[in-house]
Structure 1
Amino acid sequence: MTPLEIELFSCRSDNFGVLLHDPVTGATASIDAPEERPILDALARRGWTLSHVFTTHHHNDHVEANPALKERFGVTIVGPKREAQRIPGIDRMVDGGDRFDFAGRPVEVILTPGHTLGHVCFHLPEERLLFAADTLFALGCGRVFEGTPAQMWDSLSKLAALPDETTVYFGHEYTLSNARFAKTIDPENAALLARAAEIETLRAGGAFTAPTTIGLEKATNPFLRAGDPAIRRHLGMENAGDAEVFAEIRARKDRF
């Protein structure tokens, strides 16, 4: 099967826009719809026509362009059942464990409450792709606005269980700040220190830090490493549960 093509671009102040395109059928999905103009520009750049929007959660910076894109293209908007009343233009409601077809490929829906209660991620197992939006970032995770830290830890654990080679696209370019924070939690992690230096160089040159991989995040992202003995020692939480350690890391990031 011909591989899907991906176009990554900036929206708003720090959102990522992502287009997913099948060159055989012409089907093209926007992962969320942060802002209409950058999406239209990306489509024009590639000569693609939008057919779908895959909505991950209800926050305005992820759904703002839904109505305009629906009016312009007649797109099918797929989004979380648990937030359906807050997803403009939603056509198909999905929940954790659901599967649907995009251009002949299965898309698995992973329920990841925490950032919002109904947040979902979209996983294409045959392509080894994950669209994690505001659940998992490079070296970070989303703020816990609606759920609990325990829910967010459970959600991140679901993503960490995916194959290490899974490529991860995420919702925001927060990686430089995340790297600086991560070093305060896991200061002896050589892989993290090397990655942080690389990120400084990338951002200084205006380059994106997306995508990442599950394997890279497991090795360097403190929010996936609550069970790591060195982090536990550093936090003085050797005997705490993983969810407790995660909650402490998240609380520190909120104050960082």
Structure 2
Amino acid sequence: MLEVVRIYTSSPLRNFSYLVHQSDTQETLCIDPFESSQISHALSAKGWDLQYILNTHEHHDHISGNEGLIREFGAEVLAHPNAMSRIPGATRSLQEKERLLSNLDSSSYLEIFYTPGHTFAHLCLLQMEKEIPHAVFTGDTVFNSGVGNCKNGGDPETLYNTIRERFETLPGSVRLYPGHDYFKNNLRFSLHIDPANQAAKTALSRVESLKENEEFWTTSFSEERTFSPFFLAFHPEEDLVRGIKKSIGNESIPSDPKSLFLALRSLRDKW
């Protein structure tokens, strides 16, 4: 099984960087390095070298550690084809279904899939263990109880299609590794829209009990589907529909998943 180290960056945007290590081959990949010295320290603590850097997309807070890590480790930089000219040191574009960090019997690896919406140069990584999806690294596409904005090179309708096609269908047991810690604020937004959601109340209580900036809850998609309004919109209950229409000030908007999702994204942009 691949070993994952989550690194909280203490940045204003509350970024996460990740190290993923394949013990069979002793290869390590860094996802979205924010601060190169912090990554280097984590590698040293583990006794790992760094072979690869993967940037889920081109925004500065997901690539700012590239240059320092390239200088120190000579790591190869991997990215979406559309991001190659926008990411420092990018040398290799990745194709859908491409495998990274595959072990000796090919039972443990990361699989690439494209996830346009936040930007049109975004990709995510599915961690596979014995051909079963185990976890997903989502960059700025899916957050705990939220999804990415589309203000800087994205499109909400495209994001909706990506969530519907790529994430709504994932097994509930898959664990979520997002690119930022927005959990607490996203749950508060969820309860602002749907105050009766008991799962969101319970989740917020749990998140607030964690040691600030040190402890993080790694949720599963089955858990996310009980309190994230963006997933609840695919099977909306009356309270959620009523809350969305009231918040957006339009009782006549349709109650289909796409309309509700887009309304939620618009509301979250202003909240």
TM-score, normalised via structure 2 length = 0.87
- The one of 166, 171, 186 aligned to 1:163: 171
Q: Secondary structure at the match of 2:187?
A: helix
2:102 maps to which residue?
Answer: 103
Q: Which consecutive unaligned segments of at least 5 residues does structure 1 have?
A: none
Contact 2:19 2:31 in 1 (8 A): yes
Contact 1:28 1:49 in 2 (8 A): yes
Contact 1:162 1:214 in 2 (8 A): yes
Tell me which amino acid in the other structure corresponds to 1:135: T
Per the alignment, do residues 64 and 210 of structure 1 end up closer, same or farther by CA in structure 2, a change over 3 Å counting? farther
**Distance in 2 between residues matched to 1:108 and 1:241, nearest whole Å:** 31
Q: Secondary structure at the match of 1:20?
A: strand
2:144 maps to which residue?
Answer: 138
Deviations 1:55-104 (A, max 9, x none): 10000111112122122112122111111111211122124x33223132
Q: Residue 116 in 1 paired to residue 119 in 2?
A: yes
**Distance in 2 between residues matched to 1:143 and 1:137, nearest whole Å:** 10
Aligned residues between the structures: 252
Deviations 1:104-138 (A, max 9, x none): 24432221111111111111222612000111011
Per the alignment, do residues 15 and 64 of structure 1 end up closer, same or farther by CA in structure 2, a change over 3 Å counting? same
Q: Secondary structure at the match of 2:226?
A: helix
**Distance in 2 between residues matched to 1:93 and 1:162, nearest whole Å:** 25
Q: Residue 20 in 1 paired to residue 20 in 2?
A: yes
**Distance in 2 between residues matched to 1:206 and 1:83, nearest whole Å:** 30
Q: Secondary structure at the match of 1:233?
A: helix
Tell me which amino acid in the other structure corresponds to 2:112: V
1:232 maps to which residue?
Answer: 241
2:195 maps to which residue?
Answer: 187
Offset of residue 160 of structure 1: 2.1
Tell me which amino acid in the other structure corresponds to 1:131: F
Contact 1:170 1:211 in 2 (8 A): no
**Distance in 2 between residues matched to 1:151 and 1:160, nearest whole Å:** 14
Tell me which amino acid in the other structure corresponds to 1:202: L
Offset of residue 210 of structure 1: 4.5
Offset of residue 23 of structure 1: 2.1
Q: Secondary structure at the match of 1:9?
A: strand
Offset of residue 209 of structure 1: 2.8
The percent identity for this pair of structures is 29
2:55 maps to which residue?
Answer: 55
**Distance in 1 between residues matched to 2:7 and 2:110, nearest whole Å:** 22
Q: Secondary structure at the match of 1:194?
A: helix
**Distance in 1 between residues matched to 2:116 and 2:202, nearest whole Å:** 31
Contact 1:21 1:27 in 2 (8 A): yes
Contact 2:84 2:93 in 1 (8 A): yes
**Distance in 2 between residues matched to 1:130 and 1:208, nearest whole Å:** 19
Tell me which amino acid in the other structure corresponds to 1:253: R
TM-score, normalised via structure 1 length = 0.91
**Distance in 2 between residues matched to 1:249 and 1:178, nearest whole Å:** 12
Q: Which consecutive unaligned segments of at least 5 residues does structure 2 have?
A: 246-250
Tell me which amino acid in the other structure corresponds to 1:107: L
Q: Residue 5 in 1 paired to residue 3 in 2?
A: yes
**Distance in 1 between residues matched to 2:217 and 2:64, nearest whole Å:** 22
Offset of residue 31 of structure 1: 0.9
Q: Secondary structure at the match of 2:268?
A: helix
**Distance in 2 between residues matched to 1:48 and 1:7, nearest whole Å:** 12
1:37 maps to which residue?
Answer: 37
Q: Secondary structure at the match of 1:151?
A: helix
Contact 1:138 1:210 in 2 (8 A): no
